[in-house]
Amino acid sequence: MSASEDDARFMQEAIRLGLLHLGQTFTNPSVGCAIVLDGQIVGRGVTAVGGRPHAEPQALAEAGKLARGATAYVTLEPCSHYGKTPPCAEALIAYGVGRVVISVTDPDPRVSGRGIARLRDAGIEVESGILEVEGKRSLAAYLTRQTKNRPYVTLKLAVSADGMIGKKGEGQIAITGPAARAEVQKLRAETDAILVGIGTAIADDPLLTVRTPGLETRSPIRVVLDENLSLPLDSRLVTTAREVPVIVVATEPPRFDNSEDEAFLARRAALDRAGVEIVQCNPNRPDELLPALASRGISSLVVEGGARTAKLFLDAGYVDRILFYQGPVVIGQDGIESPVTTTDMPSGFLHKGTFMFGDDRLDEYEREL
Ligand code: AOF
Ligand code: ZN
C-alpha cells in the first residue's frame, strides 16, 4: 500500500472516531485522532463528551512511548491556544510525534494556521487537506458556525407516497415506520437544536426529545417559531421545559397600550414561569434567528416542520442538507403538500445516497459546505 493510501485509510479511522461524539461536545467540534506507528494504530482519541479533553492528548496518552516517531492523524488542525486545556500542538511535540496529517484547518481565529506553524517550527512534518471533503462533512456543524455565524441546518421531511407531509386539520400522521423513526431519534441525538413552527407545535403537540434507550440524555434544545406566543401552557413542550430546554422565538413585544399587548405580556410571563426561554426575534427572519442561535453555541439545527417552516428556511437559502423520508402511506384528499419533491430539489443540492429503513426510503441531499 502506498503512503497516500495509508494516509487515507488512517484518516478515515480518525474521522470515524470523531463522529462517535457528534453532538455531544457542545460547543467544541468532535475531533478524531489516530496515532500510527509502523502501520499499526497505537492510540485513539475523540474529543470527550462536554468538549474536553481534546482528542489528541487522549490518543497520545494511550500511545505513550510508542508516540515517539509516530504519525498522528487528526481531523482538525491541532489547537495552539491556551484555552481551557493546554495546546494540543504542544502535546504532540512533547510526545515526539514525527509527522502530523490533518484533514481540515481550524477556522477558529485563536488557532487558524498557528497549530500547523507551531508543529513545523518544532521540526515536525505536517500535511493537511487529507480526505478534506469527508473531514469537513464530519465537522460541518462546527465549521458552519465558525465561518458563517449560524448553525448547520438539516431539513427533515417525512413524505407520503403521494407527496404529502400531513393532512389538514389532523395532528401527526404516521408516515414512516419504526426503523426510520429510530434513525430520526439518532439524528436528534447528534444535533444541538430542533425547530418547529407554532402550527406543528399546536397540531401535533410533539415532545421533540430523544427517547431511544441509552440516548435519553441527548435531547436537543427545542425551538418553536411562535410570533404571538400562542404555545399552550399545557402543551408537552411547555410542561417538560424544565427537563429539556425550550426556546420560543417571538417578535418584539408590542407597545403596551392596549389589552392585546397586556395579554401578550401575560402569556410571556406565564411561559417564563414555566421555564421557557423567550428569544426576541422575528420568527419569519431566519437570517436574524440563526445568528442568535449560533451565539448561544448552537452549531446544528434540525428543522422538523411543518410545510410553512420548511419553506421559510428553504426560500431563505439556509438549508444545508435535506433528509427526505418517503413511506408507502397514501394521504390523498386534504393532504398538505411537501415543499420539495425528489424530482424538484432546489438548485445546489447534490444527491448523496439512498438508504432503506424497512418499507421507508431515505434520500439524502446536501449542498457543498
Ligand atoms: C483540538 N482537538 O479535539 C478539539 C479542538 O475551549 P477550548 O479551550 O476547549 O478550545 C476550543 C477550541 O479548540 C475550538 O474552537 C477549536 O478551535 C479547538 N477544538 N482542537 O486540537 C480537539 N475539539
Ligand atoms: Zn486541542
For cell 500510527, the residue is 36
Other beta carbons within 10 Å of 211: 12
Helix (H) or strand (E) segment spanning residue 263: helix 259-273
| Ligand 1 binding pocket mutation candidate from 79, 97, 139 (most atoms within 8 A of CB) | 79
Q: Whose CA is nearest to atom 3 of ligand 1?
A: 54
Q: What is the structure's pLDDT at 257?
A: 67
Atom of ligand 1 nearest to the CA of 77: 21
In the chain, what is the straight-line distance between the N-terminal and C-terminal CA atoms, in Å?
A: 31
Give ligand 1 pocket residues (Cβ under 6 A): 28-29, 31, 47, 51-52, 54-56, 76, 78-79, 83-85, 88, 106, 108, 111
Closest to 105 (Cα-Cα) out of 125, 85, 128, 84: 128
Distance 298 CA to ligand 2 centre (A): 20
Ion ligand 2: residues, Cβ under 5 Å: 54, 79, 88
Per-residue pLDDT of the chain (369 residues; tens, 9 = 90+): 455 889 999 999 999 999 999 999 999 999 999 999 999 999 999 999 999 999 999 999 999 999 999 999 999 999 998 888 889 999 999 999 999 999 999 999 888 899 999 999 999 999 999 999 999 999 999 999 999 999 999 999 999 999 999 988 877 788 999 999 999 999 999 999 999 999 999 999 999 999 999 999 999 999 999 999 999 999 999 999 999 999 999 987 666 667 777 888 899 999 999 999 999 999 999 999 999 999 999 999 999 989 999 999 999 999 999 999 999 999 999 999 999 999 989 999 999 999 999 999 999 999 988
Residue 211 marked as a ligand binder: yes
Residue 200 marked as a ligand binder: yes
Q: Which domains does the chain have, with CATH numbers?
A: 3-138 (3.40.140.10), 150-366 (3.40.430.10)
Residue 149: HSE in the Cβ half-sphere, 13 Å Cα cutoff: 7
Residue 143 marked as a ligand binder: no
Beta bridge partners of 167: 335
Active site residues per annotation: 56
pTM of the model: 0.93
